Amino acid sequence: MRRSCRSVRALALGTVLLAAACSVGPQAHPVVLGRPASTRPVVEQPLPTSTSVEVFFVRDGRLVPVVRRVAVGPGLTSCLAGLALPLSAKESSSGLRSALPTGVTSLHAQVNGSVATVTVPPGFDRLTVSDQILAVAQLVFTVTANTYLTRVAMAQHGHLLAMPDQSGQLVSHPLGRDDYASLAPR
């Protein structure tokens, strides 16, 4: 039994001495390690200048989705720009039209939570009720197709306005796709 205790002690002492011989001692000062030089050249990719957005126009009293290329912009700028662009000859000849007032070249909006508040474009008050319904539906479907937003409110001079839902009933709450389900694309 004594012999096995000595053997265990000798083995333990040998292990400690071996570990001590292989260890790195403390440094007097920190040493900064450099990164290895890269062998591949860094190629910077240019940021995209345009993006695709899905916008909605009107044909035969229903919304029709159209994909357009527009300049990249912050917030809702890109999707609203796609809706404000004039229709191409090909789009017009296929029966598409916009219910937004004639001459609208830009649309503006602010975001609060999951709601976009779109500034009513000039001439909106001169549209027929049926075109107001279609114009708001165009805005609702376009905004909700391209963002995380689920509702759209309309404002003029900073005041929220009541807008017609699909039945023509004026409502004062933010509107979503469900408010225009009968106009949705087939």
Per residue of the chain (186 residues), give pLDDT as tens.
555 555 555 555 555 444 555 555 666 777 666 666 656 667 777 777 999 999 999 999 999 999 999 999 999 999 999 999 999 999 999 999 999 999 999 999 999 999 999 999 999 999 999 999 999 999 999 999 999 999 999 999 989 999 999 999 999 999 999 999 999 998
Point out which residues pair with 63 in neighbouring strands: 58
d(CA 183, CA 168): 12
Helices (H), ranges, the chain = 2-22, 77-84, 89-93, 129-146
The pair of structure tokens assigned to 55 is 């916008």
In degrees rounded to 5, what are phi and psi of residue 112? Answer: -140, 105
What tokens appear for 90 in the block?
């090909």
Q: Whole-prediction pTM value?
A: 0.75
Question: Backbone phi, then psi, for 58, in 5-degree steps?
Answer: -115, 135
Cross-strand pairs, 70: 51
Q: Pick the closest to residue 144 from 176, 121, 120 (CA basis).
A: 176
Helix (H) or strand (E) holding 65: strand 62-71
Strand partners, 68: 53
Facing residues of 57 across strands? 64
